[in-house]
Chains A and B, each alone.
Chain A
Amino acid sequence: MSTKQVSRRDFLRVSGLAGTALCLGFYFPSSAKDAEIINTTGITSSEVELNAWIHIDTSGKVTIFNHRAEMGQGSFQSVPQIIAEELEVDLNDVNIVFAQGNREKYGNQVTGGSSTIRSSYKNLLKLSATARVMLITIAAQKWNVNPAECYAASGHVFHKVSGKKFHYGELVEQAAKLSPPKEVILKKTSEYKLIRKPLLRQDTPLKTNGTAVFGLDKKLPGMLYATVERNPRLRGIVKSYDDAATLKVPGVIKVFKVRMGVFKTFREGVAVVANSTWAAMQGKKALKVEWDDSGFEHINTAEIYQRQQDSLQTQEGLFAKKQGDPDAILKQAEKTVDVVYQTPYQSHSCMEPVNCVAHYQGDKVEIWGPIQAPEWVQDYISEQLNLPKEKVIVNMTFLGGGFGRKAFMDYPHEATMISKEMNAPVQVVWTREDDATQGPYRPGISYRCQGAINDGIVTALKFRMAGQNNDHWRSGKTDQANRSTSEGFLKPYYDSIKDISFAEVQFETPIPTMWWRSVYASTNGFAYESFLDEMAIAAGKDPLALRRQYLQEERSQLLIDKMEEVSGWKHRKKNEGFGVAITECFASTVGQIVKVSRAADGKIKIDQVWAVMDCGWYVNPDIIKAQVEGSIVMALGAATIHEITFKDGLVEQSNFYNYKMPRITDIPPIEVYIMENEADAGGVGEPGLPAFAPALTNAIYDLTGKRIRKLPFDLSAV
């Protein structure tokens, strides 16, 4: 039987996957890094206890569990595409389901940091190959032949010589009794049939006929709907409320105060529960709430940046990274550049506004929703409600966008508290206005960048940032420099520029902040890559040549070759502006070149974007291209269209009419290229974003001589 049985109470009973079956999963020892493969086949025949990514029943039906959230980035396709490759099954014949939140079964499930593939592909390949070897072993035993004479394909094991075959279902019962082999041989890249192929996404058909179930689409018998009027100043409490008009709205059932956690802090609001979303929304509009936000800092955007930039002039901050002595070099430099960049607060604005269904049932709670971090939710709710973890069941639906927002636990907690009060299943729906005005946001950050040039050589770089640290919200600890201060900056620069430092001048506000697609690289990248452009100009170098000069390592050189080749960088014409930026994010490097010109009406026009992605080992080239395209569109919006601003503690934007989005009319042609190599897999969902803004502003400088150091900027006003 199983080589290691994780305690039974950690398993969920899932009906509908009945019958004797082979189930393979991992055991995640809490300390060790390497996951151990275990046979988790259930003993009972009616209900199978799952601890698996792979489940094969006696009819040969294969179910693959996707342990990560599907929020557009393609885990629903790429995880099964990896498994099917080594398991030797046809992707069209497998059933893909979302796993529930469970750290013991699936390890880290937090969908962030573009980590789904890079953190699990080796384990997934090994797991799938293990299942295949076990099935082949049984087939060989049944035929009484050497397993080497057998092979697996399309869900069957074949005997080469005789042509005999078994489908997997005929083998699972006995295979389930084997101990998984310790070592298996994995395929070479050249042998892949599915991996590295632009296979169509399995979730597309669900998304073209309305059948994909997003969080907002989850319905339960007897489910009620709720909206919440939350303190518009992000912190503070309810002083009093008048629900007379609300209770007159047909369909409104109950109004009460609700408190939800926002990591280490709390937020208060008044919940309106009704029999339809519309009634709950109408009831919320009719509500009158008096807030007590005494002691809350009434922040203003101008003041935020003033404070950041003043501190950058007077404080050294905490060093996140330092090599050599940039200060000494700067003092003696022939030429120095010292400039400040500014990046805005941004909202995630997922198309699916935040929402969550919770069903509190006394001794347990079950949650369904668009959730990026199911086991965080499990941990948090269990802690807040004092329930054992296995009594907090967290189900992931499809996510209508995530981008970091849906890794917060505030909304599942809020839904749970409302369900508890109602003693019924409740769906809490955030209006678009709630979604836009409540945060969390990407922090707005200012950067001071200093550089030294001697004889046309960049000899030192000194970077300081002042902006909120997302980690403070989560950990409450403020004694360390933001470890993401150097994110976005390419590591090979450290070898060629000996004196470099990155420091964080700590900056706090009560504004909740959270990861926003590509996280700190999204703002660092703009500052650092704009600054390298400024250094190139100051040193009298071609901006792309400067990168080639200081990025000596082979992968970077190949990336630059490719960028040069596809963009025709060397052949650019006089009335064209070309800008380059190369950023690193979550173990992948992306180089972008943007071409701009002046249109007939005198306005700047983005003619073309070329993006080259080096993410090492990869699964699906078409998904990578889609992710880079989408990242560029998101970056275009953040660089030129929208920002979150604060006035007297209130967010000034509320919906798409004042937090405007790029539309189909705004999108330049985008070409995406992928570097082919065997390096360790890097991220895909986010790394395409950071290079766009600096490549664009560098291109505008190339065309107009105007340097843009503050985002967002109005493209039509340049």
Chain B
Amino acid sequence: MINLTINQKPYSIDADPEMPLLWALRDLIGLTGTKYGCGVAQCGACVVHLNGEAVRSCVTKVSRAAGQKIVTIEGLSKNNDHPLQLAWNEISVPQCGYCHSGQLMSAAVLLRENPNPTDQDIDNAMAGNICRCGTYPRIRKAIHLAAELQKKEREAK
């Protein structure tokens, strides 16, 4: 059995330790928000947080995640109200929406480490996430908006 902590909840699964975290999340645990896009760390649809770092769950063995803290898109916020989620909604970023779990999880690391990202910072953080619908201009816009929202949120506190 492999013990995982996902979105602050403990899980115990009977999985091949070689199985990528992606498939353990989707098929064994039923958290389907994390997506399969390429299987070889090219597209970023499967990004989750492992101890706060963005990792591509399609190439991360479930054994690497054992005993570690995992956050998936389902756990990015309790009420769909992370500044990025609010900004994504405000700017109607997603089209088909399939890649956006990964886009948001990548952007969340950027915003945590750099609360005022420039366009260059956004490029440096987001070039690993492919969007076939071409929502890139809106992703950029929404990250800037989320940075503002995050700032306001912090000031309010």
Contacts and interface: CB of A to CB of B under 8 A. Distances in A.
A and B touch in the complex (CB under 8 A): yes
Interface of A: 70-74, 200-201, 203-214, 216-217, 219, 225, 250-251, 276-279, 281, 349-353, 398-403, 429, 431-432, 622-623, 626-627, 629-634, 655-657, 661-665, 667, 669-670
16 contacts: A72-B94, A73-B95, A204-B93, A207-B94, A208-B73, A214-B35, A350-B132, A351-B132, A353-B36, A401-B133, A402-B96, A626-B95, A629-B135, A632-B134, A634-B134, A664-B126
B66 interface: no
For the complex of A and B, the 5 pairs showing the least CB-CB separation, nearest first, are A210-B33, A633-B134, A400-B98, A207-B97, A72-B96
Contacts of B128: 663
B96 A208 contact: no
B97 A212 contact: yes
Contacts of A402: 96
Given A200-B90, A277-B27, A626-B138, A209 B35 contact: no
Contact of A351 (B26, B31, B37): B37
B119 to A, nearest CB: 10
Q: Max chain B CB contacts within 10 Å: which of A73, A276, A431? A: A276
Contacts of B28: 276
B42 A351 contact: no
B127 interface: yes
Interface in B28-58: 28, 30-40, 42-43, 45
Contacts of B90: 200
B95 A214 contact: no
B4 interface: no
Given A204-B88, A207-B88, A402-B96, 18 more contacts: A205-B85, A208-B84, A210-B34, A211-B74, A214-B35, A277-B27, A351-B131, A352-B35, A401-B96, A403-B132, A629-B137, A630-B134, A656-B42, A656-B43, A656-B130, A657-B40, A664-B123, A664-B129
A248 to B, nearest CB: 13
- Give the size category of B's interface with A: 35 or more
Nearest to A276: B27
A633 B130 CA distance: 11
A271 to B, nearest CB: 17
Contacts of B80: 205, 208-209
Interface string B64-107: 00000000111011001000110011101111111111001000
A44 B86 CA distance: 43
Contacts of A225: 27
Interface of B: 16, 19-20, 23, 26-28, 30-40, 42-43, 45, 72-74, 76-77, 80, 84-85, 88-90, 92-101, 104, 122-123, 126-140
B42 A633 contact: no
Nearest to B82: A208
A71 B94 CA distance: 11
Given A72-B96, A664-B136, A216 B35 contact: yes
A272 to B, nearest CB: 15
Nearest to A215: B98
A276 B33 contact: no
Contacts of B37: 351-353, 432
Contacts of A431: 39
Contacts of A251: 16
A217 B95 CA distance: 17
Nearest to B140: A664
A217 B97 contact: no
A209 B134 contact: no
Given A210-B74, A278-B20, A629-B137, A216 B36 contact: yes
B133 A276 contact: no
Nearest to A403: B132
Contacts of A281: 39
Contacts of A351: 35, 37, 43, 45, 96, 98-99, 130-133
Nearest to B134: A633
A223 B83 CA distance: 37
A276 B23 contact: yes
Contact of B130 (A74, A210, A663): A663
Contacts of A632: 134
